[in-house]
A and B are shown apart, each in its own frame.
Chain A
Amino acid sequence: MKQTNLKIVSDAQASGSARSARPVIEIKGVSKTYKTQDGEVPSLRPLDFDINEGEFLVVVGPSGCGKSTLLKLIAGLLPPSAGEIRVENRVVTSPHRDVGIVFQSALLLPWRRVLENVMMPVEVKGLPIEEYRRRALDLIKMVGLDGFERKYPWQLSGGMQQRAAICRALVHDPKIVLMDEPFGALDEIVRDHLNEQLLELWARTDKTICFVTHSIPEAVYLSTKIVVMSPRPGRVTDVIESTLPKERPLDIRETEEFLAIAHRVREGLRAGHSYDE
């Protein structure tokens, strides 16, 4: 697994016209191979794509295709086996300041109240507490958790816990938010609601979001750009620029346009499968 492998040039990069914004995250020939006792397990085949400033990029792919690995690489939690990742033009070698992460489980510390959980990155990074406490309270209000600041996580429902986790990812005002199937464990009603709320939050904070999911409707609903991946070892089978307007009521999911994008995602996923079998 060296850099000699073929590079997949995405539609977006080929056309080039759709990008006026500058890339915040550049993924250049990045591959990942895990070394286990049974030998080397390839997780990601070389990937090449950029994530632009303010973009809502959704990576969609089957379970175990290396989506989570990709996020960990961007966060600097894992070193790539080959290639490099640049965030804000700096090569990522270790965890860095400009990232907030939300995982599938909320991972709130049970001994901390909601506000204390949200403030954790501030404490760790040694940022001014008073200033950021106001920001934390604003965020908590924005996701509708006001009144629950002093509750313990176990007193909250799953959806509320996940909203607190989103506040925690945003509290130190990172440029990038990485989300690893954040709503995967929630029921569909809560999920719809949180999807709507997340779009709203994104519109108000102009973060760059990289969101991983295996739900096609979720991917299409949230994204400005979709990266479709094949099963392990993951590679990009399609990159789709969303044509949906920025304003998205939930029933946009019944429009022709939405279904057309969803269809193309499904095609991309199928292509990934036939490639492997």
Chain B
Amino acid sequence: MTERTAAALRVVNAPWLRPLIFLLLIVVMWDLTIRIFKIPPYQIPAPKDVVITLWQEGPMLLREAWPTTVATIWGFLLSAAFGIPIAMMIAGSRTIESYVYPLLVFSQSIPKIAIAPLFVVWFGFGMLPKVLSAFLLGFFPVVVSAVQGFKSVEPDMMDLARSMEANRWQIFRMVSLPHAMPSIFAGLKVSITLAVVGAVVGEFVGSNYGIGFVLQRSIGNFELPTMFAALVVLALIGVVLFWILDVIERLAIPWHASQRQDVFLAA
């Protein structure tokens, strides 16, 4: 009896289950709200209808999810490949920082959605404009976090390394880069969720496939359950990619405070 309740408690307290319980709660609230306020299905579909649509249109949604995922991943990889070296340069040289950083911030205040159609004009309806759109959204958070990470090395730590006669490359490899890793990962995590948004924006403006396209078509046809089902799929893409990144982080920086096992257990 007590053993069984203990086992049940352990399952309920499992970290992976908690968000699911919360999600279930939200769905119940959603259903209740529709019933209580009698919201018509052309405004908000019932959860049941969305689940049915997810089941029926599952194969189609999965097929359309693939190009969106690919565009997201490419955009994200480009963000990392450009963002981290640029952050190194900005953190490493005051001159580069003073030239580049203000312009970079300036460029970020341009709404990317406004210039996405331009990519269609330049690169057509293929994969490239979507990748670029994902890259543009994912790039900035990587740079900002990585710059902060590279710059936050204690001055005494730098002095210590210099007193060992370490050259610039050794200081970078042994001190700055590992020190910046947690910040870089924080930036990458923001970046990957924004890259999903970027890919969908790319599909909105110029594509005839992908989840973004499904979203636009279904809203145009007032197929709200399909639209909601597409949103669920989109969210799942984001969650899975984020989770993969989380696993990579755990493997890459096992020493970091956020990864410490006993802290995790105590929490």
Contact = CB atoms under 8 A, between A and B. Distances in A.
Interface string B140-168: 00000000000000101101111111100
Contact of A125 (B164, B174, B175): B164
Interface stretch (B107-115, B184-192, B250-258): B250-258
Interface string B117-134: 000000000000000000
A41 interface: no
B165 A103 contact: no
B33 interface: no
A120 B161 CA distance: 9
Contact of A110 (B159, B163, B164, B255): B255
B56 interface: no
A101 to B, nearest CB: 5
B156 A77 contact: no
A124 B156 contact: no
Contact of B161 (A111, A124, A154): A124
A35 to B, nearest CB: 16
Interface residues of B, number: 21
A77 B162 CA distance: 7
Contacts of A109: 174-175, 178
Interface residues of A, number: 25
Contact of B159 (A77, A97, A121): A77
A101 B170 contact: no
Nearest to A105: B156
B260 interface: yes
B256 A120 contact: no
Contacts of A72: 159
A124 B255 contact: no
A123 to B, nearest CB: 7
Contacts of B162: 77, 95
A125 B165 contact: yes
Contacts of A99: 163
A105 B166 CA distance: 20
Contacts of A154: 257, 260
Interface string B18-32: 000000000000000
A102 to B, nearest CB: 9
Given A95-B162, A100-B163, A110-B255, 18 more contacts: A72-B159, A75-B159, A77-B159, A95-B164, A95-B165, A97-B165, A105-B154, A107-B154, A109-B174, A109-B178, A111-B178, A111-B255, A111-B256, A121-B164, A124-B166, A124-B170, A152-B255, A154-B257
Interface of B: 154, 156-157, 159-166, 170, 174-175, 178, 181, 253, 255-257, 260
